[in-house]
Amino acid sequence: MKKIKVSVVGGSGYTGGEMIRLLLNHPNVEIQQITSESYNGKPLSRVHPNLRGVDLKFCSAQDLEPADLLFLCLPHGQSAQRLEEFTKLAAKLIDLSADFRLNNKDAYLKWYGHEHPKPEILTKFVYGIPELHREEMKQADYISSAGCNATAVILGLFPLIKAEAVDLDKPIITEAKVGSSEGGVKAGPDSHHPVRSRTVRSFQPTGHRHSAEMLQELKLDSINFSATAVELVRGILATSHVFLKDNLTEKDIWQIYRQAYKDEPFLRLVKESAGSYRYPEPKLLQGTNYCEVGFELDQDSRRLVVISAIDNLMKGAAGQAVQAFNLMFNLPEETSLTFRGLHPV
C-alpha cells in the first residue's frame, strides 16, 4: 500500500512530540516535514530527547510542501488565521487546537471572548472524539481534535446521557485533576517548579473553555466544571457527580456502559472489588490511548459518581488525533496505538 504523506505543523511542543512518536511507528505513514520556527534546521532530539536517532529535522512552515494530510499542532488561534494556507497544501486536516471545536459562532464568542475569524467553516469540522463521531470521521476532510478535559468528562458521562438515565433538572458537577503538561511546553510564573510543586491548585473553578465542548457534545443546557492542578506531569482524572432519574442498581449502570462501549477498542471499564487500583488511575495510562471509566453509586441517594481517566497528551490529544486519522483513511483504528501502558511507573 502506498504510504500516506503527512506533515506536522508545530512539532516542537509536547503534543507535537507525541504526534511524531506515534507517526514514526505507523506502518502506513511517511512523515514528510515537521515545522518549528524556533528550531528551524535543528534535529528533533533538540526538544524531544526520546526521539534521539531519528534522522529528521525541523523546517520552517514557509518551506512546507503539499501533503496528503496536515496535523496542525499550533497554539490556539493560529490554525484559523492560516486556514487558507493549509488547505492549499493538503486536502485533509486534523487540527489539535481549540479553533474549530465549537460548531456555533455564538458559543465561540461566549467562551473565547472574540469573534471567530472563519465562522463559515465551523460546521465543516467534525468534532474529534471517535466514540461519538466515528462514521462522520470516515467521510471527513477536516477534524478538530477534542480538548483533553472535555474528552475525559464526555467519555465518562456520554453513556448515561444517551440512555436518558440522568435527572437533568439537577446539577451535573464535575472536576478534573490535571497534570502540568496540560499547560504546554512554555513555562510561566505559575508553572515554575518551586511554585507548582506540592500544590493542589484550583486554577479554573468556573468558566473553563472546555465546558463549551461538554455542553455541545452531551447536548446539555448546563454543566458545572472545575479544573485543579495536581503534581502529575501527564494525566487527567475527572470525577463527575450526577443524579439518576430512577432507582437504578449497579448492575443496571454496568449494562448502560457495556452497551455503549462494548465494541470500543480504547474504552476500559474499571471497577474492582479489591486491589490497589479499584478505580481508573491516570498513572497507569501514561503513553496510552485508553480512557478508563468507573463509577460508584451512593447507596443513600440517587447520586452516581463517575470516574474517568486519560493521558492528556494521548487520548486527550495526539493519540486521539491518530485514531481519527486512521478512520479518515479507512485503516484499522488501533494502528500505532496498541501500547498498553507500564506498571509500575
Three state DSSP letters for the chain: CCCEEEEEECCCCHHHHHHHHHHHCCCCEEEEEEECCCCCCCEHHHCCHHHCCCCCEEECHHHCCCCCEEEECCCCCHHHHCHHHHHCCCCEEEECCCCCCCCCHHHHHHHHCCCCCCHHHHHHEEECCHHHHHHHHHCCCEEECCCHHHHHHHHHHHHHHHCCCECCCCCCEEEEEECHHHHCCCCCCCCCHHHHCCCCEEEECCCCCHHHHHHHHHCCCCCEEEEEECCCCCCEEEEEEEEECCCCCHHHHHHHHHHHHCCCCCEEECCCCCCCCCCCCHHHHCCCCCEEEEEEECCCCCEEEEEEEECCCCCCCHHHHHHHHHHHCCCCCCCCCCCCCCCCC
Indicate if 134 and 161 belong to the same structural domain: no
Indicate if 88 and 181 belong to the same structural domain: no
Query: Would you please indicate which residues are annotated as catalytic (active-site) residues?
Result: 148
For residue 16 the three cell numbers come to: 507535537
Indicate if 18 and 112 belong to the same structural domain: yes
Indicate if 135 and 155 belong to the same structural domain: no
pLDDT computed for residue 196 by the predictor: 85
For residue 209 the three cell numbers come to: 473553555
Indicate if 173 and 259 belong to the same structural domain: yes
φ, ψ of residue 82 to 5 degrees: the values are -110, 20
327, 336 Cβ separation under 8 angstroms: no
Report the CATH number that the domain containing residue 238 is assigned in CATH.
3.30.360.10
Indicate if 288 and 322 belong to the same structural domain: no
CB contact set of 298 (below 8 Å; sequence gap of 6+): 304, 305
- 78 in a domain, yes or no? yes
Domain span at residue 297 reads 148-310
- 118 in a domain, yes or no? yes
Indicate if 105 and 173 belong to the same structural domain: no
For residue 60 the three cell numbers come to: 520552517
- 76 in a domain, yes or no? yes
State the total domains in the chain: 2
pLDDT computed for residue 188 by the predictor: 85
- 334 in a domain, yes or no? no
- 341 in a domain, yes or no? no
- pLDDT tens, the chain, 345 aa long: 799 999 999 999 999 999 999 999 999 999 999 999 999 999 999 999 999 999 999 999 999 999 999 999 999 999 999 999 999 999 999 999 999 999 999 999 999 999 999 999 999 999 999 999 999 999 999 999 999 999 999 999 999 999 999 999 999 999 999 999 998 988 888 888 888 889 999 999 999 999 999 999 999 999 999 999 999 999 999 999 999 999 999 999 999 999 999 999 999 999 998 999 999 999 999 999 999 999 999 989 999 999 999 999 999 999 999 999 999 999 999 999 999 999 998
275, 343 Cβ separation under 8 angstroms: no
pLDDT computed for residue 195 by the predictor: 86
Report the CATH number that the domain containing residue 92 is assigned in CATH.
3.40.50.720
288, 345 Cβ separation under 8 angstroms: no
Angle (CA) 193 152 81, round 5°: 75
CA pair distance 218, 225, nearest whole angstrom: 14
State yes or no: cis peptide before 43, omega within 30 of 0: no
Indicate if 289 and 306 belong to the same structural domain: yes
Indicate if 288 and 205 belong to the same structural domain: yes
- 74 in a domain, yes or no? yes
Indicate if 324 and 279 belong to the same structural domain: no
Indicate if 132 and 194 belong to the same structural domain: no
pLDDT computed for residue 93 by the predictor: 98
- 343 in a domain, yes or no? no
Indicate if 173 and 109 belong to the same structural domain: no
- 96 in a domain, yes or no? yes
For residue 149 the three cell numbers come to: 478535559
